[in-house]
Amino acid sequence: MTTLDATIRESNVLDSIKKYFYDSITTIENTAVSYDKTLSTPKVQGIETDKWVTIVPGDIVIGTLSQMTVSVICCTKKDSEGFKLAQLRDKVMAYLIDTDKTDGRARISLYRSASSGAWTKVGAMVVSVQSETARMEADDNTKFKVITILLQWGGLC
């Protein structure tokens, strides 16, 4: 039986995306991140938070130039004028662009993930911001914006 190369395994891509947002938004920015749950309010230590980011993976194309779309949804509650949402959006956007790079694009390390043991870096995914919605409001008064990004990376097929 043949196994897929680490650069084209969807599980590695998804784990790498989770790690990137956990390391940046959760650890550095102290903001909750949930995955594939749309606008559900996450609980932090049993208490509902008033700001969070939801990551929703989209279409994936595997090849020598692989790509995946991802929706990054910035959400706030108890935010009457949307100022907390604007601040959250700015923090998230700072991790999606890189002004130190000549192309302005951030990179997300692509790892061969493992349930136990060390992860091995096998490449990087280039981030391109594709679109950003206007501020919207859900029925439960959650304010949110959707930032759609495209990730591209070299894959061995």
- Report domain extents, the chain: 6-154
Q: pLDDT at position 4, please?
A: 87
Q: pLDDT at position 117, please?
A: 85
Q: pLDDT at position 49, please?
A: 86
Q: pLDDT at position 1, please?
A: 59
In whole angstroms, what is the distance from residue 26 CA to residue 35 CA?
Answer: 12
Q: pLDDT at position 86, please?
A: 98
Query: Token pair for residue 34?
Result: 């949930």
Q: Which residues of the chain have pLDDT under 70?
A: 1-2, 38-47
Q: pLDDT at position 115, please?
A: 84
Correct CATH for 6-154 of 3.30.2000.20, 1.10.3720.10, 3.30.70.2190, 3.40.50.720 = 3.30.2000.20
User: Would you call 94 helix, strand, or coil by DSSP?
Assistant: helix
In whole angstroms, what is the distance from residue 65 CA to residue 41 CA?
Answer: 35
Q: pLDDT at position 45, please?
A: 61
- Pair type for strands 51-61 and 32-35: parallel
103-129 pLDDT tens trace: 999 999 999 998 888 999 999 999 999
Q: pLDDT at position 114, please?
A: 87
> What are the residue ranges of helices labelled H in the chain?
10-21, 83-96
Q: pLDDT at position 56, please?
A: 96
Q: pLDDT at position 3, please?
A: 83
Q: pLDDT at position 2, please?
A: 64
